[in-house]
Structure 1
Amino acid sequence: MDETQIAKRLDVLRTEHRDLDSAILALIESRSTDQLQLARLKKRKLRLRDEIGMLEDQLVPDIIA
């Protein structure tokens, strides 16, 4: 992946991450929380965060100190 592709993928992942925030909040506020669904959404959000971090690391060059 080149930098442009990584940047586009990051944009998509960040949008999905924000959407999951909203979905999780809505599920919690609905008071009829399905614990299994809530756990799945949180797990997906964590996977997205990990992928975002990995891609961000690819954009930042390693600096040897």
Structure 2
Amino acid sequence: MPIGPASDPQAYRRDRRKDQLLQENSYFVLRFLAEDAGKFLDEVLDAILRALVHRGRAK
């Protein structure tokens, strides 16, 4: 059974509200687990770069 914010419905809803508010104010939101940023930093950075490239094409 997962533990932590991902398994907590209240935390999930709170994060979605934060995302929505940021997006309504022209922010682009990407979420990564801190654990993944530590263990898989190259993959996280690649995902960020891909998102930025894709976002640049969409404009």
Higher relative contact order (CA 8 A, sep 6+): 1
What TM-score results when the alignment is normalised by the length of structure 1?
0.35
What TM-score results when the alignment is normalised by the length of structure 2?
0.38
Structure number with larger C-alpha Rg = 1
Structure 1 or 2: larger helix share?
1
